[in-house]
Amino acid sequence: MSFWKNKKVIVTGGAGFLGQSVVELLKKKGCSHIIVPRSKTCDLRKANAIKKLLKETQPDMILHLAAVVGGIGANRENPGKFFYENLIMGVQLMEQSRIFGVEKFVAIGTICAYPKFTPVPFKEEDLWIGYPEETNAPYGLAKKMLLVQSQAYRQQYGFNSIYLLPVNLYGPRDNFNPNSSHVIPALIKKCFDAKATGDKEIVVWGTGKATREFLYVDDAAEGIILAAEKYNKPEPVNLGAGFEVSIKDLVEMIVKFTGFKGKIVWDATKPDGQPRRCLETSRAKKEFGFVAKIKFEEGLKKTIAWYKSQNE
C-alpha cells in the first residue's frame, strides 16, 4: 500500500479494457493520484499534447497501455495505421517522459512482437529470431520498438523503463465489436447473435488448428502492477497463464457455455494467424512473483455472463 500512496501515475489507455482493471487495482492499492488521459482532449500521437499532459500533471510513473488494436481482420485492413499510431505514441511518450524526468515508465508490448515460428513455449530471448506473423507484423513491430527504446534509454540516459509482453487477454468489458474484436469476444457475440436470430450455424475463420494462450484481464492487471512495483531491469518479461488451447477446442467451449446448439462451419479460406502461441512465464514469477490465478474455464464463464448481462 505504501508504495503507491503518494505516487502520481498516468495510465494511458486507462479507460480501455485492460486499463479499467489496472486503474481499479491501483485504487485498491492506495494510489489516489491516477491520471487517465482521454483521446478527445489529449492526442498521444502529438508531441505537444504529451508535453502539455506531463507539464500539468508532473507524474512519477507512466503505465503505457494505450494501443490501436484489433483482431486478424482489423490488422489486415489497417497495417499502416496500426504501425504509425502505435509507434508514434510510444516513441514520443517515452522521449517526453525522459525529458520531464519521470521516475519509471512501464511499456506494455504485445505477443504479436514474437516471430511467426517461435519455439513453444515462447521465451523472451527468442524475440529476435525471426519476423512476426504477417497479418499483425506492423502492429507487433511498432510495439516491439518500445523495447528497443526502453533498453537504449536505460543504457544512455539511465532511464528506468521496463517492457512487458502480455499474451492474448480476455474478460468482462472486452471489445465485442465484430469489426475489431479478438477471437474470444468475437465468438461469444457470434453464438449469442445466432441464438437470437435462430441461425443454425456460425462461421469461424481458419481451420481451428492454431493454438492460443489467454490471460484473464484481472490477472494481467496484477502482473503489470507487480512489475511496476518490483521490476527494474532491461530484459523484457512475458505475462501469461502458461497453457495453450486450440481454436477448435476454444470454439467448442464457447458454444457449450453460451448454449448455442447449431453447427460450426470452418472457413479455411481465412487465415489462422500465428500457428501456435504459448508463453514461458518463469521470468515473471522469479522477478516479481507473478502467477496467473484465474482458471481458463472460470474466466470464460465470467466473460460470457458479463456479456449476457449487458445484452439482456
What are 225-250's pLDDT values in tens digits?
Answer: 999 999 999 999 999 998 999 999 99
Query: 114 catalytic, yes or no?
Result: no
Distance CA 289, CA 113 (A): 24
What are the residues whose beta carbons fall under 8 Å from the beta carbon of 92, sequence distance 6 or more?
44, 45, 46, 47, 50
Give the C-alpha distances (Å, rounded to integers) separating 62 from 65, 125, 128, 204: 9, 25, 26, 38
Give me the pLDDT at residue 1, please.
63
Residue 205 placed within a domain: no
Residue 300 placed within a domain: no
Residue 267 placed within a domain: no
Residue 177 placed within a domain: no
Compute and round to an integer the Cα radius of gyration of the chain.
19
Distance CA 145, CA 109 (A): 9
Residue 79 placed within a domain: yes
Residue 14 placed within a domain: yes
Residue 47 placed within a domain: yes
Domain of 161, CATH number, reads: 3.40.50.720
Give me the pLDDT at residue 304, please.
98
What are the residues whose beta carbons fall under 8 Å from the beta carbon of 306, sequence distance 6 or more?
171, 172, 173
Distance CA 38, CA 43 (A): 8
Q: Which three cell numbers stand for residue 233?
A: 531491469
Count how many domains the chain has: 1
- Of 289, 229, 220, 288, which is closest to residue 30 (Cα–Cα)? 229
Residue 312 placed within a domain: no
Which residue positions in the chain have pLDDT lower than 70?
A: 1
Give me the pLDDT at residue 128, please.
98
Give me the pLDDT at residue 273, please.
83
Residue from 84, 114, 131, 139 carrying the catalytic annotation: 139
Domain membership of residue 105 as a residue range: 8-169+215-242+278-294
Q: Which residues pair with 202 in a beta bridge?
A: 264
